[in-house]
Amino acid sequence: MDLYNALYTTRAMRRVKPDPIPDDVVKKLLDAAIRAPSGGNQQKWRFLLLTDPSKKAQLQKLYREGLTELNATQYKAVMDLIQNGDPNDPEVIQAKKTNASAEWLADNLDQVPLIVFAWGKPNGESSIYPALWSLQLAATAEGIGSALTTLLFKKHTKQVLDILGAPEPTEWVPMAMVTLGYPTGRWAVAKRQPAHEVTFQDSWGKPVSWRVDTPLWQ
């Protein structure tokens, strides 16, 4: 697969089929992930592959609880927009899509065939993200949809670590999980605020001389 194809189309694909991902494919994803850069090339990461149905069911309940609480607090403005906004407004349409996809995951986390949990070291936590993004890009190349989420580590860290038999978050800090499975939908180019609107030239606030009005890879 062309690298730009993967870069442009690797979306948060939360809805997936329950079909298992073969070990031969799983090991390719992890082998790609650990090629990623890390601060000082320390490679201070740990991954846990979760396929156990009973553990996934326990986590689904926590995830559902977490999203319901976020919808009532942090995401309240978005929920109000979805309920009361103009249904033809592109922002409302996009918010509805993202919300439906997030709700699907909260209700069906136990149906996702593979969840990869990731840990980093205290003060070196950001090094985990290139590795997880590499894992997601490799997944796209294998025709597997993925979604990175951090929600389970907002309120339920202790319960999650207990379920996974993982240590207290002192030496190893749980950072995120990536859900993986074969997609039910199609790949599409991610819609984003254009590059020229979020990039400055030489001084903060000074616009760049170019524009990108449509994605440069289609």
Ligand X SMILES: Cc1cc2nc3c(=O)[nH]c(=O)nc-3n(C[C@H](O)[C@H](O)[C@H](O)COP(=O)(O)O)c2cc1C
Binding site for ligand X (CB under 6 A): 11-12, 98, 102, 105, 147-151, 190
Three-class SS state of 198: coil
- Rounded Cα distance between 67 and 147, Å, is 15
Instruction: Rank residues 39 and 208 by Cβ distance to ligand X and give the closer one.
Output: 39
As given in the structure block, the two tokens for residue 183 are 């997609």
Instruction: Rank residues 74 and 123 by Cβ distance to ligand X and give the closer one.
Output: 74
Instruction: Rank residues 183 and 208 by Cβ distance to ligand X and give the closer one.
Output: 183
Judge whether 48 and 166 are in contact, CB under 8 Å.
Answer: yes
Instruction: Estimate to the nearest angstrom the gap between the alpha carbon of 215 and the chain centroid.
Output: 22
CB 201 → ligand X: shortest distance, Å?
26
The amino acid sitting at 171 is: E
CB 98 → ligand X: shortest distance, Å?
5
- Rounded Cα distance between 67 and 99, Å, is 10
- Rounded Cα distance between 170 and 122, Å, is 7
CB 63 → ligand X: shortest distance, Å?
9
Instruction: Rank residues 150 and 201 by Cβ distance to ligand X and give the closer one.
Output: 150
CB 182 → ligand X: shortest distance, Å?
17
* C-alpha atoms less than 13 angstroms from C-alpha of 26 in its C-beta half-sphere: 17
Instruction: Rank residues 64 and 208 by Cβ distance to ligand X and give the closer one.
Output: 64
Q: Specify the residue for token string 């090094």.
A: 127
CB 22 → ligand X: shortest distance, Å?
25
